[in-house]
Structure 1
Amino acid sequence: MTTDPAAASPTVPARRAPAGAAVLREDVTEAIRAAVLDELAAVGFSRMSIEGIARRAGVGKTAVYRRWKSKLHLVLDLVQAFAADGLPVPATGSLHGDVRALLEAMSHVLRHPVASAVIPDLLVEAARNPEIADAVRGALLDGERRMAEGIVSDAVERGELAPGTDSGRALDLAIGPLYWRQVVVRDEVPPGYLDDLAASVVAGLTSAAPGRT
């Protein structure tokens, strides 16, 4: 997720861009991002092209390539904007509370039109191309893994989980059902579902001996 750059110090003049350097207009950038979503909805990732994106955005191809070197990087940039990377590790004081907070954050991400439109196509492409698979893994999983590792580590320190508890299992137990319901089946999340799922995840983690598969 992006943040505003820090303001220049009042005692130090702001650095000027080099003469002749291109200034990337934010309105053009946002128009391109919106065009990507429209293009994905119309033709899917495999048939999506920089030419089609530029045409929808009302810009030249050069404007797209100044910002992203390929359509994959453009789409991954959108996905990363709605992934868990940058979200703080939950710190509710209990394993159930932390798992519930993780589920709430991920459910929000998966409900977003960007995620629902892009993730399935990216996973199909990742199965065909190892380079895409590595990029998708970094965009979709790094933030979630960091959150799961933090949740498990805090729970171990509190004595709620045994040392050696697999944080990957925690992530599988939590995110797997959510992904199936919201992305594959495309069902609504009913009231109480996240509470029940959090209880199931906690029960699964506390009953499993570390190191077992």
Structure 2
Amino acid sequence: MERNRLDEKSKRRPSGAAVMRDEVTNSLLRAFLEEWAVHGYAALSLERVAARAGAGKAAIYRRWPSKLALAADAVQKFGMVLTDVADKGSLRDDLRAYLLMLRRALRHRLVRKILPDLYAEASRGSELLSVLQDLSASRRRGGASLIERAIGRGELPVGIDRELAMDMIPASLYWGMIVTRRRITRVQLERQVEALVAGLRAI
């Protein structure tokens, strides 16, 4: 009986051991994005991130080994990575669902500031290139499945230039919302859908 009690004690967490609380993790992720949006990645300070989250810098390094690892996790968890669009039954409906999902992501105040900085940093060959590649891969997977479904339905030709098609799908919406900072209405989005249907059939 005494042996059992000793075994149970040995399994307990040592007194004073750090506990990875979800609320602290989420606060750090949010603070990281807020600081990124204000200062840009290159000038981003993990000390300021910790202070904004009301935590110590050690709390960051208990969760992420580097600033880059924290950036990758933040991008993944706060809506910048697009998911696959479920089959809506037609190319037009699939495109509409995809662009609506993208518009929701691009409307977020942090995304609107961070995405241009992410592309700029990656273009300069910074360590963020790997984060951008992962982000682009998720977007292109969604676009690829959409295109393959349309080919299977006979809505697009088998020989379509898939790479060009995946570039075309988000381009106009991204340019309008992020580069020229316009508000894209549902009517304008529908026009983009119609233009994409016609364009994709022509390539």
1:192 aligns with 2:163: no
Partner of 2:70: 74
Residue 36 of structure 1 aligns with an amino acid whose one-letter code is F
Shift of 1:203: 0.5
1:98 aligns with 2:94: yes
Against the structure 1 CA distance between its residues 51 and 152, is the aligned structure 2 distance closer, same or farther, given a 3 Å change threshold? same
Residue 141 of structure 1 aligns with an amino acid whose one-letter code is S
Against the structure 1 CA distance between its residues 200 and 80, is the aligned structure 2 distance closer, same or farther, given a 3 Å change threshold? same
**Cα distance in structure 1, aligned partners of 2:188 and 2:12:** 54
Shift of 1:202: 1.0
Shift of 1:30: 1.9
Shift of 1:170: 2.2
1:83 aligns with 2:80: yes
Which is higher, the Rg of structure 1 or of structure 2? 2
**Cα distance in structure 2, aligned partners of 1:18 and 1:198:** 58
- Pairs within 5 Å for 1:26-175: 26-81=22-77, 82-85=79-82, 87-129=83-125, 131-138=127-134, 140-175=135-170
**Cα distance in structure 1, aligned partners of 2:85 and 2:37:** 33
Q: Which sections of structure 1, spanning at least 5 residues, go unmatched?
A: 1-16, 209-213
**Cα distance in structure 2, aligned partners of 1:57 and 1:100:** 37
Alignment equivalent of 2:197, drawn from 202, 206, 211: 202
**Cα distance in structure 2, aligned partners of 1:94 and 1:42:** 41
Shift of 1:130: 5.4
**Cα distance in structure 2, aligned partners of 1:166 and 1:78:** 33
Normalising to structure 1: TM-score of the pair? Answer: 0.81
Shift of 1:206: 0.7
**Cα distance in structure 2, aligned partners of 1:146 and 1:184:** 24
Q: Quick check: 1:95–1:155 contact (8 Å CA) kept in 2?
A: yes
Aligned length: 190
**Cα distance in structure 1, aligned partners of 2:160 and 2:42:** 39
Normalising to structure 2: TM-score of the pair? Answer: 0.85
Q: Quick check: 2:87–2:94 contact (8 Å CA) kept in 1?
A: yes
- For residues 153-184 of structure 1, what are the alpha-carbon distances to aligned partners after superposition, in whole Å with 9 as ceiling and x for unaligned? 11111111111323322222121111111111
Alignment equivalent of 2:171, drawn from 164, 167, 176: 176
SS of residue in 2 equivalent to 1:47 = coil
**Cα distance in structure 1, aligned partners of 2:27 and 2:111:** 18
Residue 187 of structure 2 aligns with an amino acid whose one-letter code is G
Q: Quick check: 1:152–1:165 contact (8 Å CA) kept in 2?
A: no
**Cα distance in structure 1, aligned partners of 2:169 and 2:41:** 27
**Cα distance in structure 1, aligned partners of 2:73 and 2:81:** 13
Residue 121 of structure 1 aligns with an amino acid whose one-letter code is D
Q: Quick check: 1:78–1:114 contact (8 Å CA) kept in 2?
A: no
Partner of 2:3: none
**Cα distance in structure 2, aligned partners of 1:70 and 1:136:** 17
Shift of 1:152: 1.0
